[in-house]
Amino acid sequence: MGLFDFFKKKETAPEAQEALDKGLEKTKDGFFNKITKAVAGKSSVDDEVLDNLEEVLVTSDVGVGTTLKIIKRIEERVARDKYLSTSELNFLLRDEIQLLLSENNSNDFRQFEYGDHKPYVIMVVGVNGVGKTTTIGKLAHKLKEANLKVVLGAADTFRAAAVDQLKLWGERVGVRVVAQPMGSDPASVAFDTLQSAVANGEDVVIIDTAGRLHNKIGLMNELGKIKQVMQKVVPNAPHEILLVLDASTGQNAFEQCKQFTEATDVNALAITKLDGTAKGGVVIGISDQFKIPVKYIGVGEKINDLQLFDKKEFVNSLFK
C-alpha cells in the first residue's frame, strides 16, 4: 500500500480536511483581510486593483517572482475577458494558484509507492528549530501505522538534545533508533543504521542530520560524505532527501531552501508550523521558485497533524 493511500485510509477525508482548514486559518484570515482592502470601493479589476493585489501576495510571503507570474496571468485574463468584477477575483486567483502548483509539482503523490527499494532511505535536512525531528517522528508514526518497519538514525551528533529528542520520538512511536555518543561521525551513524536495517529487513530508514547552516562547502562535504557511506550499504541511497522548512520564517525559508538545494540534491519538501503563522503563502512561492515538490505539510501539534500535501485541497482550503 502506498503512503498516500494509507494517509487517506487512516484519516477520513473530513478529519484531514478539518485539520487542514484549521491549520490554515491564520494565513487565510490575513490573506482575505488584505484582499478585501485591496478591492475596497472597486467594482471591476483595473490596474489599481492589480497593483494592490501584487502587494497582498508579496506581503503574504508568496515571493516576488511568483507574485509577478500570478499577476501577469490575471492581467492576461482581464485583457481577454475585457471585464472582470472584483467578486470574481477570488475564484480567478484560486484557479491561477492551483494551476501554478500543478505545473511545478509534476510528482503525483497519489501514486507514491516504495517500489523495489528496501530499505527506502530518507535523509532529512534543515536548520535547527524548523521542526525537523518532530517531522521525522510524525512520519515514522504514519509509516509504522501502515505496517512498515521503520528505523531512525540519529546522525545529528553535534547536539545531545537532537539525539535525545529523536530517542524520545522512537519510544513514543515504537520504532528503533540507532545512535552513537555525541560528537561521533554522522556518516558512521548513517552507515550503522543502514547496515542494521538491511540485517533486520526493515522497510524504511529515516536519517536525521545536523541542522547547521555553516558555510556551504562544509555542508556539502558533510552531506556528501553521509551519502557516499550510505551507498556502500544501499546503492543509490538516499532515495529521498527531504528538506524541512518552517513556514513561520517567511522569506527566510526561501534562503534556507536556496542554501540546501545548492548543497545537496533535495527532491522533496516538508513545510511545518502552518498552523502557527499567517505566512502560508511560502508553500506557493517555494514550490514555484525551486521546482521541488512539497510532499508534507505540518498543520498542528498532534501526532497525526503531518499530512501529505494535496495542492488542490490546500488551495481550496485557503480560499474557503
Residue stretches of the annotated binding site: 126-133, 208-212, 272-275
Binding residues for GTP: 126-133, 208-212, 272-275
Residue 149 identity (one-letter amino acid): K
User: Tell me, what DSSP letter sits at residue 318?
Assistant: H
Angstrom distance (rounded) from CA 79 to CA 73: 10
Cβ–Cβ < 8 Å for 237, 261: no
Helix (H, G, I), strand (E, B) or coil at 129: coil
Is residue 8 exposed (0-12), middle (13-18) or buried (19+ Cβ within 10 Å)? Answer: middle
* Residue 235: cis peptide before it, omega within 30 degrees of 0: no
Cα distances (Å, whole numbers) of residue 14 to 17, 134, 173: 5, 24, 24
Tell me the pairing of strands 176-178 and 204-208.
unpaired
Q: Nine-digit cell at 67? A: 507574485
Angstrom distance (rounded) from CA 7 to CA 146: 9
Cβ–Cβ < 8 Å for 245, 286: yes
Helix (H, G, I), strand (E, B) or coil at 245: strand
Q: Nine-digit cell at 149? A: 518497519
Angstrom distance (rounded) from CA 209 to CA 125: 6
Cβ–Cβ < 8 Å for 199, 174: no
